[in-house]
Amino acid sequence: MKVFARPSPFAPHIAEELWSKLGHEGTLAFVPWPSFDPELAEEEMREYVVQINGKVRHRFRAAAYLGEGLLAAARSEPEVVTLLAGRTVVKEIAVPGRLVNYVTKG
């Protein structure tokens, strides 16, 4: 028969004192540990990298799940428009959730 120890705070005496100062009744030892909620861990915004010919030239923040709209979001950035001015874009590569790479001539 396996007996599992109930997890407890690292410094139980201080934790109990803080628990009572926060206005909770009873002992902290019998309160269940919080559960993990993956929806709370998801980011709403993400940083994307813009590369020109494989070199990082710009970073911008946008919605975390752009998918197909990643290329359009990168093209709408004023800094990217400036960087691509006077160049011929040969190929646009988008890695969803990460980066946009422009292969250019000129």
Give the structural domain span for 78. Answer: 45-105
Q: What is the pTM of this model?
A: 0.62
Count: domains in the chain: 1
Q: What pLDDT, on a 0 to 100 scale, did the predictor assign at position 40? A: 84
Compute the Cα dihedral for 87, 89, 90, 93 and give only its sign: positive
In a domain, residue 77? The reply is yes
Q: What pLDDT, on a 0 to 100 scale, did the predictor assign at position 81? A: 94
In a domain, residue 16? The reply is no
Torsions phi, psi for 90 (to 5 deg): -85, -40
User: Any idea what the CATH number is for the domain that residue 67 is in?
Assistant: 3.10.20.590
In a domain, residue 27? The reply is no
In a domain, residue 100? The reply is yes
Q: Could you report the average pLDDT of every consecutive run of 10 residues in the chain (106 residues)?
A: 64 88 87 84 89 95 87 93 94 92 90
Residue with tokens 């997890």: 7
Q: At residue 55, what is the residue type?
A: K
Q: What pLDDT, on a 0 to 100 scale, did the predictor assign at position 2? A: 62
In a domain, residue 72? The reply is yes
